[in-house]
Amino acid sequence: MEQEDMEKRLGKLEDRVNIIDKNGAVMEVLVKNGQEIQDQFSGALDKFSTVISNVEKTLIGLQNEIKLTRDDVGTLKKTVEIIEDKGKIDWMLLIKENLGKLISGFILGGGVIAGIVVLLVKVIQ
């Protein structure tokens, strides 16, 4: 009878060892999946950092272009003031002399808006 008890106990121990082995295999898979997720997350953060850096560089460039445009607008304002002081505005002459600045101002305004939209689309993706 003692041998039967020992065999039952041994059978229960073997069952427990099998359960532990199965749980160990599951844990290994979970750890591996966790490591893969961490690697993917790290890569995503690196890409996001690169995008933010590019956005910063683009915004600095846009800031410089806006400053140049502001300077051009200041020059145009001074020109208008001088003409107003003379008592008449020759609109055709004003447009003719400043056509390049006007066109670049319109293009820059559209470029700024387009640049911001492109950057936002990249960040969202």
Mean per-residue pLDDT for 69-92? 77
What percent of the chain has a predicted confidence (pLDDT) above 90?
12
Task: Check pLDDT > 80 for residue 120.
Answer: no
Q: Which residues make Cβ contacts (< 8 Å) with residue 63, sequence separation at least 6?
A: none
Please report the sign of the dihedral spanned by the C-alpha atoms of residue 94, residue 63, residue 111, residue 114: negative
pLDDT at 88: 63
Contact 55, 123 (CB under 8 A): yes
Distance CA 99, CA 93 (A): 10
Tokens of 47: 């890409």
The beta strand positions in 47-120, using DSSP E, are none
pTM score, two decimals? 0.42
Mind listing the pLDDT tens digit for each residue in 7-55?
Answer: 888 888 888 888 888 888 889 999 999 999 999 999 889 999 999 999 8
